[in-house]
Structure 1
Amino acid sequence: MLMQQTTVSYPRLGALAESARRCGPLRVGVVYPCERSALEAALEARDQGFIEPVLVGPSERIHAAAADADISLSGVEIVEAANAPAAARRAVALAGSGEIGALMKGSLHTDEMLGSIVGRESPLRTGRRTSHVFWFDCPAYHKPLMLTDAVVNIAPGLPEKADIVRNAVDLAHGLGLSNPKVAILAPVETVNPALPSTIDAAALCKMADRGQIAGATLDGPLGFDNAVSLASASTKGIVSLVAGEPDILVVPSLDAGNSLYKSLVYLGGAACAGLVLGARLPVILTSRADSKQARIASCALAALTARHLAH
């Protein structure tokens, strides 16, 4: 069971895992899985019923990594590719032809992976900016919480932030939230011309009012405290449909998002999963520092999300 990875109880993560199992395994292209951690996570996600891995890369190196980890590759499909860039291109081609329903980063560099997915000739490219969304089961919070973008977009402008919100809202819809509540974070909760993040937050909310961002309730700018705490919002006199109840937190930059993500995991004890969205299928973009639990949970999240995107 996914829940057995830690001694802390994560009921919302367990519910996510059970929902993913009910969908049946998703064929996932694991790109250049030439290190032990990448292979272990993919095969354990298979054993837990989330994915059917297709390993894309040099078979000799993949078998060597499996032998080092004492893992059997019996029955696992391997698609030959000479090196990391070739593996990324081959996996994108397989995804474009519909042979796999998601991609998972192995031991290649992130830019090699994403470059093939969003490149000019990629069949997975859409008109939307790609962005990363973390999904958390936070012991201190009363429901699942999403955070975007803490991985891909460094300093997004307003058009990029609009797509970042749209991608996260799509993920929420795929998880059964018909009208997620979105908090647009900034250092303060008032619009201040000296803080561009507050102006962008206000503009995003007005875009939602005008239907340019649909399917969610947005509010911002909100500080982190009055976004997640109704008591804090009330103390400051903030009247909001989102304060204290957000499903999604949108950060102004990667600096802020990455620090918040790591704070939630390392100090807040949160379990997490993460995906890159905005392409025609979900991308599991894990870090070498991610736990096995996070990698497997990301596979479960992809299994749920891929079905929604396909429709």
Structure 2
Amino acid sequence: MTDAVSSLDATGQPRHHERYDRLLAAARSLPPLRVAIAHPCDASSIGAVFDAVELGLIDPLLVGPTAKIRSAAADLGKSLDSLVIIDAPHSQASAEAAVEQVRAGKADALMKGSLHTDELMAAVVRREGGLRTSRRISHCFVMDVPGHDRALIITDAAINIAPTLEDKVHIVQNAIDLARALGASPVRVAILSAMETVNPKVPSTLDAAALCKMADRGQIRGGILDGPLALDNAIDIGAAKIKNIASPVAGLADVLVVPDLEAGNMLAKSLTFLANADAAGIVLGARVPIILTSRADTTIARLASCAVASLVAKAQSHRVTMGEV
């Protein structure tokens, strides 16, 4: 594994990831993140663990059926002799045991292995024995898009199906905190809709206007919000100028807040499969960051997810130390 990790572009040529490489470099300057990996029982999930360990990003606790974990590692020709395995009989028990490692102070992050996301999240959000906080849990994709000069955070594309205005306050605040942890300053947040004007017939434009006013009144902190903005106006200065949009966010957005999960999922997957982007996934709002990976993820996306979690965990620890949470 080299310091800079590349994948192939649409023509089959190596593509470098300057934005992800910067995240990896920042995370590697920190101590390895103690991560409880729930049910890493296939080649994809256990392979991601070995890659992250090799780069010094994580110090893993493997939680799941010992025989299956060892079999998955053997299929890759890897040894588990230097890693800790905590035996659990099945996927649900693995999720619960991984959460318990966090509660016991033995891990500072969770990582999804070869189990369903809803199994892991069910253990996280349990009222007794889970990892709830006062924040609503939400998901962010940190996307490395070829030709775009900054990493794009898209939220929420995986957890909140049809978020209310109250939900969106938490979704936006989680994303702002993430962007700050990744070094963005200022954090520019675009509240997306199909248009850039407030229209009572389009509820997402009303939510956008309310969120911006809430930021003005200090109910959302740490970012500069504008919306509603259509996607083109949010990420392309030229498009914003054509429509005479005067905004500190238009064309410069670090965070794209989508109206609902369907819009977010389609946007993220469109960028991934049509624009050859990579998507690092992270869940925020729990006591620790939660790394969500998919079998379809590239190696660089998996590593970037671990790097993002490491930087988030450091930022959360700092806020606790400063009495901000």
Q: TM-score, normalised by structure 1?
A: 0.97
Q: Corresponding residue for 2:149?
A: 142
- Aligned AA for 2:275? G
Q: Say if 2:127 is the partner of 1:103.
A: no
Q: Corresponding residue for 1:193?
A: 200
Q: Corresponding residue for 2:248?
A: 241
Query: Which deviates more from structure 2 when the two are superposed, residues 142-151 or residues 196-205?
Result: 142-151
Query: Which deviates more from structure 2 when the two are superposed, residues 174-183 or residues 11-20?
Result: 174-183
- 3-state DSSP of counterpart to 2:191: strand
Q: Corresponding residue for 1:258?
A: 265
Contact preservation (8 Å) 2:109, 2:289 = yes
Contact preservation (8 Å) 2:196, 2:228 = yes
Q: Corresponding residue for 2:95?
A: 88
Displacement of 1:173: 1.5
Q: Corresponding residue for 1:35?
A: 42
Aligned equivalents of 1:183 and 1:229: distance in 2? Answer: 12
Contact preservation (8 Å) 1:21, 1:50 = yes
- 3-state DSSP of counterpart to 2:302: helix
Q: Corresponding residue for 1:298?
A: 305
Which whole-Å deviations, capped at 9, do the CAs of 1:102-147 have from their partners, x for residues lacking one?
A: 0000011111100111111134210111111111222221112111
- Aligned AA for 2:188? K
Structure 1 unaligned spans of 5+: none
Q: Corresponding residue for 1:180?
A: 187
- 3-state DSSP of counterpart to 1:23: coil
- In the TM superposition, what are the counterparts of 1:106-185 in structure 2 within 5 Å? 106-185=113-192
- In the TM superposition, what are the counterparts of 1:265-276 in structure 2 within 5 Å? 265-276=272-283
1:66 aligns with one of 69, 73, 77? 73
- 3-state DSSP of counterpart to 2:227: strand
Contact preservation (8 Å) 1:2, 1:296 = no
Q: Corresponding residue for 2:322?
A: none
Displacement of 1:159: 0.7
Displacement of 1:176: 2.2
Which whole-Å deviations, capped at 9, do the CAs of 1:44-97 have from their partners, x for residues lacking one?
A: 101011001110011111111112222211200001111111111111111012
Displacement of 1:303: 1.2
Q: Say if 2:315 is the partner of 1:308.
A: yes
Q: Corresponding residue for 1:57?
A: 64
Contact preservation (8 Å) 2:6, 2:17 = no
Q: Corresponding residue for 2:5?
A: 4
Aligned equivalents of 1:84 and 1:24: distance in 2? Answer: 29
Q: Corresponding residue for 1:214?
A: 221
Aligned equivalents of 2:139 and 2:315: distance in 1? Answer: 17
- Structure 1 residues 269 and 35, CA gap change in structure 2 (3 angstroms): same
Displacement of 1:2: 5.6
Displacement of 1:225: 0.6
Which whole-Å deviations, capped at 9, do the CAs of 1:268-300 have from their partners, x for residues lacking one?
A: 222331200000110001122222221121011
Q: Displaced runs of 4+ in structure 1, greater than 4 A?
A: none
Query: Which deviates more from structure 2 when the two are superposed, residues 91-100 or residues 169-178?
Result: 169-178
Aligned equivalents of 1:2 and 1:188: distance in 2? Answer: 42
Displacement of 1:192: 0.8
How many pairs were matched up?
Answer: 311
Q: Corresponding residue for 2:83?
A: 76
- Aligned AA for 2:316? L
- 3-state DSSP of counterpart to 1:231: helix
Aligned equivalents of 1:29 and 1:190: distance in 2? Answer: 45
Aligned equivalents of 2:230 and 2:147: distance in 1? Answer: 18
Displacement of 1:186: 0.1
Aligned equivalents of 1:195 and 1:244: distance in 2? Answer: 23
- Aligned AA for 1:159? E
- 3-state DSSP of counterpart to 2:37: strand
Aligned equivalents of 1:174 and 1:128: distance in 2? Answer: 17
- Structure 1 residues 119 and 66, CA gap change in structure 2 (3 angstroms): same
Which whole-Å deviations, capped at 9, do the CAs of 1:182-241 have from their partners, x for residues lacking one?
A: 000000111111110111111110110110001100000000011111111111121101
